[in-house]
Structure 1
């Protein structure tokens, strides 16, 4: 939860009107005939030392936003302020010095590691490229990284195909830690793992955050993992952020109908609460190549009013009656339900 003292703190990362569009090309000449609007005008702040969870249905633009933040994708428009520097238009050469502070953990532990390299070489490469430590100290630093993720040192001489999914993801986490970053984008880091391994990796991420004062953007569609690890949660739908609040507020007092629908699908461990009303979304998610006018959720929302929701785009603004705590929602009728 963002307390009053923390709200006075400057954000570590702030994105403003961020857009990431992918061209749709057709024909022999590969003519651009449209764009996939993966991220479409997003404003968001991440504060030092917090974990911001980012949730939404598959295809809503979560991973595209994470990859754009670390500049693996070039933004189409907008600003990415990191440590008060707008890195959105930085060249690859200029980004080199920033990349030590911005890292990413990928979703698939099986494809994110080079199968032809030993673990030692995978972890040593970023240390050599960015000259984090002298060459003679690299073996010692690799051993330290392996210790951080609670793997035996003997694993450094093995290849990725010799490990389980959970072990590979720990190696991916160690690689992200190698450059001593300030912000790590965790792009669905546990979605490919079984439940028991998910818990172990989540606990490891929390321990590392406390040990190194890390800041996380934790992207996921599993609400259980997000609830466990996040301080705040941002809900994304079809390229837009529709709600942002503390984890407790999102789960106890959601204000956007899409958030309510997501939470309705979340399994409830308490048998006495399983009879609560379910919110069933009707229709399919619209195409990000041709999103609806106005509120993008209005085609599936039972509270929508056509003359308003289909014509005007709601702003992400403070919810009334929440007090000093930040709770933002993008809905014209959020006080009606």
Structure 2
């Protein structure tokens, strides 16, 4: 991807803190629908996002990435743990109590078509936040809507059209416009480019970078492909089976991944130079275990080529250092993969 957006310098003050977050879904069975177990979609995750940065969250499908994002904006109710937004605990707030927080904390969905009401014109969809949250006088709303469309690269007159009249990339721009209409501080980007063609992905990522600089936004950027996360993020957190297994600065994580799972994800990313992918290449084996019955010890031990007895019995902690990995025997050799500057 060319024209990579410059990432603004992050503030040291945490904008969002997630502490020991767990989000479980009950498994029902029998004629009385009794709870017989739980899907541990997110299982004891802690992370911090500083103002002005983009934290990329990457992992295989089904590892719990989207559940973290939806829990942060309270579209899902966490089972336990705390979510602090600007030092305010929003974990157990009611829908009414969350209303003032909604304007500062927004989400962009993966599928822009299903998240847009097909029966309403785009101008109506973009007017709703101003009306519901009393963000503008009624007479000023059309001008505000026109400005939103311009910000996301759409003509002002396109507000009279319906969502089905736009391409996938244009619909995602509308979804972005709706998210920024609240003038939020933090936006959860839940795989916003995964359903788009590669050329359109680059345009949307560049748009997100431009908006971040202009509107001073902070992002949690969720994706299952390492390429998009690498392109836009300041720091990257790698997730596997409900847990974060590695987190660190983007350049350091790509240069020297400590967790075997991170190394495997990087191997799957095709570099511009095919010769560059030969160093330190390892392959994954087996299938992802069930989140209802995760393995004991390290959750990756059933697929790890470096597994030892300790990995099967003791769960490795994720350290508090800037570049941390939840691994008893972290890798120490460089990946040999190029890092985007």
Q: TM-score, length-normalised on structure 2?
A: 0.93
Q: 1:299 aligns with which of 302, 305, 308?
A: 302
Whole-angstrom distance in 1 between the partners of 2:300 and 2:331: 17
The residue number in structure 2 matching 1:329 is 325
The residue number in structure 1 matching 2:208 is 205
The residue number in structure 1 matching 2:155 is 152
Give yes or no for contact 2:260–2:331 (8 Å, CA) kept in 1. Answer: no
Whole-angstrom distance in 2 between the partners of 1:187 and 1:147: 23
Instruction: Count how many residue pairs are aligned between Structure 1 and Structure 2.
Output: 325
Return the offset for 1:312.
1.2
Give yes or no for contact 1:23–1:34 (8 Å, CA) kept in 2. Answer: yes
Q: 1:253 aligns with which of 253, 256, 259?
A: 256
Whole-angstrom distance in 2 between the partners of 1:336 and 1:202: 32
The residue number in structure 1 matching 2:318 is 316
Whole-angstrom distance in 2 between the partners of 1:239 and 1:18: 10
Q: Deviations over 1:241-292 (max 9, x none)?
A: 0101111011111001110011111111113314335321110000001101
**Unpaired stretches in structure 1, ≥5 consecutive residues:** 320-325
Residue 102 of structure 2 corresponds to residue 106 of structure 1: no
Return the offset for 1:304.
1.6
Give yes or no for contact 1:106–1:186 (8 Å, CA) kept in 2. Answer: yes
Within a 5 Å distance, the mapping from 1:66-215 to structure 2 comes to: 66-215=69-218
Whole-angstrom distance in 2 between the partners of 1:74 and 1:167: 31
1:6/1:172 Cα in 2 relative to 1: closer, same or farther (>3 Å)?
closer
SS of residue in 2 equivalent to 1:302: coil
Aligned Cα root-mean-square deviation (Å):
1.3
The residue number in structure 1 matching 2:279 is 276
Q: Deviations over 1:157-193 (max 9, x none)?
A: 0000000000000000000001000000000000000
Give yes or no for contact 1:67–1:73 (8 Å, CA) kept in 2. Answer: yes
**Unpaired stretches in structure 2, ≥5 consecutive residues:** 1-8, 334-341
Whole-angstrom distance in 2 between the partners of 1:315 and 1:275: 30
Q: TM-score, length-normalised on structure 1?
A: 0.94
Residue 245 of structure 2 corresponds to residue 236 of structure 1: no
Q: Deviations over 1:287-325 (max 9, x none)?
A: 00110111101111121212x111111111156xxxxxx
